Amino acid sequence: MVGFAVFELIFHLLLKTMKKRGECYTTQFFYLNLQTLIFIEQ
């Protein structure tokens, strides 16, 4: 679960950066892939 917390932290930082650039669609796509990776690892 520690790895999941790190992933969440990195994602939130990326989300803030991408929102400033107006790349919300890219962020949503990335988040879906990230959730899939976490699901596979468990």
12-42 per-position pLDDT tens digit:
887 777 666 666 567 677 778 878 877 776 6
pLDDT in the model for residue 23: 61
Residues contacting 31, CB < 8 A, separation 6+ = 11, 15
pTM attached to this predicted model: 0.39
DSSP code of residue 22:
T
Task: Give the 3-state secondary structure percentages of the chain, helix then strand then coil, rounded to 5.
Answer: 90, 0, 10
In the chain the beta strands, taken as DSSP E runs, fall at none
Determine the Cα–Cα distance for residues 14 and 9; give it in Å rounded to an integer. Answer: 9
